[in-house]
C-alpha cells in the first residue's frame, strides 16, 4: 500500500497495528502484610501508544449508563422527598426514569445502526509509518 501523502510503501493497517501492540500478560504475586500473606493470580491487558491510537472505536454500554443514572436519580428523589416535597420528588423521579429510558434507547440504537458503520470505517483505515498520515483504503 502506498501512502497518498508521501508515497512511502511503509504503511500498515490500523487493525494489524492494534493487534500487534495489544498484549495480555498473566501474573502471580504474593502479597504480604503484618496480618499474613496471600497469593494473587490474574491477567493484565495493555497496549502500546501506537496501538491505542489505532484502537477500534468503542460502542456504548447502555445498561451501565442507565444504572448510574438510576442511582443518581434515586439519591435526588430521596433528597427532594425528605427536604422539599414528596409529590415533587415523585414527579422528578418519574421524569428521570423517562429520560433514562430515552437515553437507553438512543445508545442501543447507536450500537445497532451507527457503530457498525464507524467500525467498518476503522477497518479500512491505514497509517503511514513514515509520515504518520492516516487514510482509508478498501483492502
Residues making contact with Zn ion (CB under 5 A):
3, 5-6, 8, 128, 130-131, 133
Which of 80/128 has CB closer to Zn ion?
Answer: 128
For residue 7, give the 3-state DSSP assignment: coil
Give me the least distance between CB of 3 and Zn ion, in Å please.
3
For Zn ion, the closer CB: 6 or 136: 6
| Inter-residue long-range contacts of 66-72, CB under 8 Å, 24+ positions, other chains counted | 66/100, 66/101, 66/103, 66/104, 69/96, 69/99, 69/100, 69/103, 70/96, 70/97, 70/100, 72/96
Closest CB to Zn ion among residues 3, 54: 3
Residue 40's beta-bridge partner residues? 29
Min CB(48)–Zn ion separation in Å: 20
In the complex, what is the shortest distance from the CB of residue 4 to Zn ion, in angstroms, rounded to a whole number? 8
Amino acid at each position: 500500500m502506498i501512502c497518498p501523502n508521501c508515497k512511502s510503501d511503509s504503511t500498515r493497517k490500523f487493525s494489524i497495528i492494534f493487534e500487534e501492540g495489544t498484549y495480555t500478560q498473566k501474573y502471580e504475586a504474593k502479597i504480604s502484610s503484618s496480618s499474613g500473606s496471600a497469593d494473587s493470580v490474574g491477567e493484565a491487558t495493555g497496549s502500546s501508544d501506537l496501538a491505542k491510537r489505532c484502537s477500534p472505536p468503542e460502542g456504548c454500554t447502555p445498561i451501565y449508563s442507565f444504572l448510574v443514572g438510576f442511582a443518581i436519580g434515586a439519591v435526588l428523589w430521596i433528597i427532594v422527598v425528605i427536604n422539599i416535597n414528596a409529590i415533587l420528588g415523585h414527579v422528578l423521579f418519574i421524569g428521570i426514569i423517562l429520560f433514562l429510558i430515552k437515553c437507553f434507547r438512543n445508545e442501543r440504537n447507536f450500537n445497532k445502526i451507527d457503530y457498525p458503520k464507524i467500525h467498518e470505517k476503522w477497518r479500512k483505515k491505514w497509517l503511514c509509518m513514515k509520515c504518520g498520515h492516516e487514510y482509508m483504503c478498501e483492502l
